Chains A and B, each alone.
Chain A
Amino acid sequence: MQWWEVVVLIEDVFAAAKSRVDEVELVIAEGHGIRADLRRGKITIGTASRSAGIIIRTIHDGRIGVSSSDSPARWKECLDAAIAGGKLADRQEWGGLFGPVQERETLARDPTLIVSPDLLNDLITTMVQGSEEYDAKITSGSASLSSGNVTLANSAGLLITEPSTHASLSIEMIQGQSTGFEHDASWQLSRINPFTIGKTASWFAYAGQNGVELDSGTYDIVLSPDALSQLLDTVLTPALSGRNVHAGRSVLAKKIGEQVLGEEISLFDDPLDPRGSANSYWDGEGVPVRRLDLITNGVLNCFAYDLRTAYRYGKETTASAVRGGLAGAPSIGFHNLILKGPVDNVLDEKAVYIHDVVGAHTANPMSGDFSVELSSPFFAEGGELGTPIRSAMLSGNVFDLLNQVQCVSAETKTLGNMILPSIRIENQTLVGKI
Chain B
Amino acid sequence: MDRSYRYYDVRRVKGELSQIDIDNSVIESAGSSFVDLALIRVLGPVGWGVLSVNGDLIEGDSLPDTLLHEALDAAKITNGAVSIVEGECQVLSVPKPKEDPRDVSLEEKTQILLDLERHAKMDDIVNTRVTYTERTGNITFFDSSDNRFSYEICRCGFGILAVACKDGITQMGYERRHTINGLNIRHQQNLALHAGTIAQELLHAKPARGGMMNAVLDPELAGVFAHEAIGHAAEGDLVQEGSSVLAGRIGEKVGTPVLTIIDDPTIEDFGFCPVDDEGSKTKRTEIIKSGVVNAYLHSMESMAAVGEDTGVLGHARGMAGIVPIVRMSNTFIDNGDSDYDEIINECNDGILLKGSRGGQVDPGRGVFQFNAEYGYLIENGECTTMVRDVSLSGDILGTLHQVQLCGNDRKLHAGYCGKYGQTAPVSDGAPHILLKNAVVGGSCLD
Contact = CB atoms under 8 A, between A and B. Distances in A.
A46 B75 contact: yes
Nearest to A428: B443
A371 B441 contact: yes
B172 A364 contact: yes
Nearest to B55: A71
B364 A179 contact: yes
Given A48-B70, A139-B243, 5 more contacts: A64-B29, A71-B34, A78-B33, A90-B26, A359-B391
27 contacts: A41-B80, A43-B78, A46-B75, A46-B76, A47-B51, A47-B323, A50-B52, A64-B29, A68-B33, A69-B34, A69-B36, A70-B36, A73-B56, A74-B36, A81-B34, A85-B30, A89-B27, A172-B364, A247-B24, A249-B127, A249-B129, A358-B361, A366-B171, A367-B170, A367-B388, A369-B389, A431-B210
A68 B31 CA distance: 10
Interface residues of A, number: 83
Interface string A365-399: 11101111101000000000000000101011100
Given A70-B34, A248-B163, A396-B443, A39 B80 contact: yes
B152 to A, nearest CB: 18
A177 B240 CA distance: 15
Nearest to B165: A248
A327 B163 CA distance: 26
Given A43-B77, A216-B210, A179 B33 contact: no
Given A48-B50, A362-B360, A369-B207, A70 B30 contact: no
Interface stretch (B143-151, B253-261, B368-376): B368-376
A50 B29 CA distance: 30
B204 interface: no
A211 B51 CA distance: 43
Contacts of B207: 369
B185 interface: no
A368 to B, nearest CB: 9
Interface of B: 19, 23-24, 26-37, 47-56, 70-71, 73-82, 106-107, 110, 126-127, 129, 163, 165, 169-172, 207, 210-212, 238, 240-243, 245, 321, 323, 357-362, 364-371, 388-391, 393, 395, 439-445
A104 interface: no
Contacts of B110: 88
A372 B70 CA distance: 44
A221 to B, nearest CB: 14
A370 B393 CA distance: 13
A42 B80 CA distance: 5
Chain A CB within 10 A, most for which of B77, B165, B172: B77
A372 B54 contact: no
Contacts of A297: none
Nearest to B16: A81
Contact of A395 (B76, B361, B443): B443
A191 interface: no
Interface of A: 34, 36, 38-52, 64-71, 73-74, 77-78, 81-82, 84-86, 88-90, 92, 117, 120-121, 137, 139-140, 172, 174, 177-179, 216-218, 247-249, 251, 327-329, 358-367, 369-373, 375, 391, 393, 395-397, 429, 431, 433
Contact of A46 (B50, B54, B106): B50
Contacts of A431: 210-211, 439-442, 445
A72 B216 CA distance: 52
B122 to A, nearest CB: 14
B210 A85 contact: no
A88 B21 CA distance: 11
B33 A395 contact: no
Contacts of B71: 48
Contacts of A69: 33-36
A21 B297 CA distance: 52
Nearest to A92: B26
Contacts of B211: 216, 431
A77 B31 CA distance: 12
Interface centre among A81, A121, A360 (most CB of B within 10 A): A81
B49 to A, nearest CB: 5
B104 to A, nearest CB: 13
Contact of B36 (A71, A329, A359, A367): A71
* Dominant secondary structure of chain B at its interface with chain A: strand
B32 to A, nearest CB: 5
Contacts of B36: 69-71, 74
Contact of A371 (B74, B80, B389): B389
Given A46-B77, A70-B34, A367-B169, A140 B241 contact: yes
Contacts of B127: 247-249
B369 A373 contact: yes
Given A46-B49, A65-B31, A40 B241 contact: yes
A373 B368 contact: yes
Q: Which 6 A-B pairs have the closest CB atoms?
A: A42-B80, A85-B31, A362-B371, A371-B441, A248-B127, A359-B369
Nearest to B21: A89
Given A43-B47, A362-B358, A429 B210 contact: yes
A135 B74 CA distance: 31
A51 B443 contact: no
Q: Max chain A CB contacts within 10 Å: which of B78, B361, B368? A: B78
B33 A328 contact: yes
A375 to B, nearest CB: 6
A433 B439 contact: yes
Contacts of A85: 29-32, 106
Given A40-B242, A216-B445, A117 B77 contact: yes
Given A328-B33, A371-B442, A366 B365 contact: no
Contacts of B440: 431
A251 to B, nearest CB: 5
Given A85-B32, A247-B127, A70 B37 contact: yes
A147 B142 CA distance: 30
A219 to B, nearest CB: 12
Contacts of B358: 359, 361-362
A140 B393 contact: no
B74 A48 contact: yes
Contacts of A84: 31-32, 106
A42 B107 CA distance: 53
Contacts of A74: 34, 36
A90 B439 contact: no
A64 B32 CA distance: 13
Contact of A177 (B357, B366, B369, B391): B366
Contacts of A251: 170
Contacts of B170: 251, 366-367
A322 B57 CA distance: 31
A75 B83 CA distance: 42
A38 to B, nearest CB: 8
